[in-house]
Structures are given as structure tokens and as C-alpha cells.
Structure 1
Amino acid sequence: MAKNAESFLSLLSWPGSYCGAAKQGCCYPKTGKPTKDFKIGGIWPLSFTGEMPTNCESNTHFRLSVISNLTKSLENEWPSLSCPISGSSKLWEQEWTKYGTCSKPLFGGQYHYFHAALNLRNKVNILKMLSSAGIHPNGSFYSLRKIVDAIQSRVTYMPAIMCNEDKSGNKQLYQILLCGDTTGTKIVDCLGLPRSNCSEKIKFPSF
């Protein structure tokens, strides 16, 4: 199925929403609290039919040594916030096994998968886009439409906005989904974006 992929979903997650979610807390990695910015939440192959293939090659194992010159950037841009602390490399291994193995026909292997994730992350500065529109991570509530417009006006293409809930049941800005091309080098239009689960007004928590 990976050979039929037309694009890749690039997920950018707000750590303040992960840490403030009702269903889990968070633990900072051994490298310390991540910088206050959107982080990579995943990069998933997306087929022409909108399906996301997973676990394509069970015999293709993750090797940290292959991405040794990317680990510093990955620690900053793709940290694990799950508890108990298990190290971000465990998260990268899980993502490679589930999604990265389905990208091999296009990206060519493990190194290119993680390089593409970093490259697509660097194509957009979501926090700056939102701040320029007066949308700040301070616990205030903002219009979902305003958030979408702030991003779309800068990247041209429509993003998908996903929310989770804080401990009080408020919907909060959690993930921004955009599509990258099959080379992982630029943001493109996406036919298979999931439908937003957010309310009309959503919280943008601090971190």
C-alpha cells in the first residue's frame, strides 16, 4: 500500500496540550523540558483512498546508529513526553515500525524517513503564524476558524486541527496536520485530511 501513497501527513503537536490532557500527564525527557514550540507528532503515509498503511515490514528493524547525526535535532523536535520516561529513541522506534516501514518505497529507508520528518517540520513555524494572528499559548480560548485561517494564509493549503480535552473537559488545540509530498520536501494539498474533532472555540494552553 505504501507504493500508492500520494502524500504524507505531518503531525505537529502542542506539548502543553499533551501535558494538560485529562487522560494522561507527561514526563520530560532526560534532556530536560522541551522548548516552547510545536513538536513532531508523527509522519504517516497517506494513500490515494485516504488510508494510512501501518506495520508494512515486520522484519525491518529500527537502528539508532543509522540516524546518529539526526538525534540531536530529533531530541528537540520529536521528544517523548510519555510516562514513565523511556527515552525518545523508544518513541522513534515505535513510529518507524508502525509508519516508517510503509514509507520505504518512497523515502528509501530509515534515515530518509526521519530526515523528511525534520524537513517538513522546518517548513512551517506554526507558533509564529498563530502569534502573528494574535493567537497565543496563554490559556485563552480562540475561534477554530481563526486558527485555520492563520495557518492557511501562510502555507496556502488547508490544515486539519485536532483537539484533546483538559481536566475540566475543555477542548484544547493539540495537533496541526498538514501534508508533505512523497519526497518529504514540501507542503502540498491533501485530499485525505481527517475531520476536526474540535469545538468552535478552543483553548490554547501554556507550556
Structure 2
Amino acid sequence: MKPLRSCSAFIISLVIIVVYEARAGHSLSRKPDRGYYDFFYFVQQWPGAYCDSKWGCCFPKTGKPAENFSIHGLWPNFNNGSYPQNCDNLNRNPFDKSKIVGLIKRMQVEWPTLSCPSGDGFKFWSHEWNKHGTCSANVLNQQSFFQKTLDFKIKSNLIQHLSDAGIHPNDGFYRAEDVEAAIEDGLGVTPYLECNFDKEGNSQLFQVYLCVNKLANAFIQCPVMPHGRRCASSVQFQSFSRF
């Protein structure tokens, strides 16, 4: 009987080793939910185009925003063009406005919501954190995620770079390549322009994408461009003052 016992012990030991290695291998190969990204898209939108689109718009409860680009978000992305989202599956780190108390007034100016019905911004910011911010939470906590995004708005200064090139929000039409060149001259990186279309079919400057490195401390050349709606060769820079 001794050989049988030895054989049984060997089989049990082998099974334990196989199970352990399988679990270890699964653990090593599983991609982490947070921090697994390559860069960010920093996205700003033009309120004039938003309000002239099929979506319509409602001004925030804090009043009509200034005629300037506003923040849409800071979105982690992969170099292959895909992106992570909703990385806090267990809801351990939900949006908490108490963590951004010192930023709220600034966010209401630089990061307002134009969706209807009118809001105070918290629903919009909660969506941005829960969908995008949680995927970079091991690099940026909630406070730093919103702080960094606000700072990139100032650093980009899109309206000034366009103005310096003679491009103004006056309902006029400009060559898309001139709009890109004005931003690239000002920032040293190539932007991606996204357009929407009004009822007449005009291609309107809607969103500007800039790329930011993984640590969120500098603009970089985009590893890959977004898949948003490309602009026609001529784009309208819609006025926001008439809304």
C-alpha cells in the first residue's frame, strides 16, 4: 500500500502546485483597473457651437458663461486609440464634492454645464470623475484631477492663440488648417479639431483636443488622434454672444 499512498500524495501535491501557479499567473496577467493608460486627452468645447447644435443648451444656474472655451474633460487613453472607463467598479471612490470645495467657484466659470435642464455643474463633474477620473486615480486623486484640468485650461489659452492669428468668434469662416496652426504655434503641439454641423450644414468648430502626458504635467504630441467628427476644410467660429 505504500506505493499507492506515495502516488496519491504526489498527485495531491501536483494539483496544489498547478492551482497555485494558475492563480498566480492570472493575478500577474490581469490588467489593473486604475493607472493602466498611456496619456490623456484634454478636451475643451466651444459654447457657441454647442448652443447652435441640435442639442440646444441651457445656461448654468450661475449664469451665462463667458465667451471662451470651456472644459469638457481630461480623459485617460491608450496608445492604440482605445480607452479605459468607469474603473471604480466597487464604488470605493465615488465623486465627492467635499474634496473640491476650494475649486468649485473656479469650476463653475471654467467647467460649466450647458446641458438641459440648467444645473450647478455637480452632475457633469460627477460623470467626468466616475467615467474618466477613476481610471487615473492612482496618479491623480479627486482634488488633483480637477485642479490639473483647470490648470491646463489656463495653460492652453486657446482663445488668445486664435485671436493672435486673427481668428475670432464672429460667425466667420476660417480654414481648419489655419485654426490648427494658430494653436500649434502657441503651444508647440498639434491639436485635433472636432466639428459639429448646424441646420444649414455648416462645419462649426466644436471641440479642441490636446494631449497630456501620463503624469498630467505637460502637453505632448498626440500618440494617436481621436475618432471625433472631423472638420471640413472651412470651419465656422460661431459667436456665443447672441445666445
SS for the counterpart of 1:5 is coil
- For residues 26-61 of structure 1, what are the alpha-carbon distances to aligned partners after superposition, in whole Å with 9 as ceiling and x for unaligned? 111111000111110111001232221111113121
Deviation at 1:181, TM superposition (A): 1.8
More helix per residue? 2
1:50 lines up with 2:81 in the alignment: yes
Structure 2 residues without counterparts, runs of 5 or longer:
1-32
Q: Distance in 1 between matches of 2:225 and 2:170?
A: 28
The answer on whether the counterparts of 1:80 and 1:91 sit within 8 Å (CA) in structure 2 is yes
Give the count of matched residue pairs.
Answer: 205
- One-letter amino acid of the structure 1 residue matched with residue 192 of structure 2: A
Q: Distance in 1 between matches of 2:179 and 2:127?
A: 30
Alignment partner of 1:63 out of 82, 87, 96: 96
Query: Comparing both chains, which one has the higher relative contact order based on Cα–Cα distances under 8 Å and sequence gaps of 6 or more?
Result: 1
Q: How does 1:6-45 map to 2 (within 5 A)?
A: 6-21=38-53, 23-45=54-76
- One-letter amino acid of the structure 2 residue matched with residue 51 of structure 1: S
- Structure number with greater Rg is 2
Partner of 2:203: 171
Partner of 1:85: 118
Q: Distance in 2 between matches of 1:192 and 1:26?
A: 31
The answer on whether the counterparts of 1:46 and 1:192 sit within 8 Å (CA) in structure 2 is no
- One-letter amino acid of the structure 1 residue matched with residue 158 of structure 2: I
1:116 lines up with 2:152 in the alignment: no
Q: Distance in 2 between matches of 1:193 and 1:31?
A: 34
- One-letter amino acid of the structure 2 residue matched with residue 101 of structure 1: T
Q: Distance in 2 between matches of 1:28 and 1:145?
A: 31
More strand per residue? 1
Alignment partner of 1:129 out of 153, 161, 179: 161
Identity of counterpart residues, as a percentage?
A: 40
Alignment partner of 2:189 out of 157, 161, 178: 157
Partner of 2:23: none
1:143 lines up with 2:167 in the alignment: no
Partner of 2:105: 72
TM-score, normalising length from structure 2? Answer: 0.81
Structure 1 residues without counterparts, runs of 5 or longer:
none
Moved more, 140-149 or 56-65: 56-65
Deviation at 1:166, TM superposition (A): 1.3
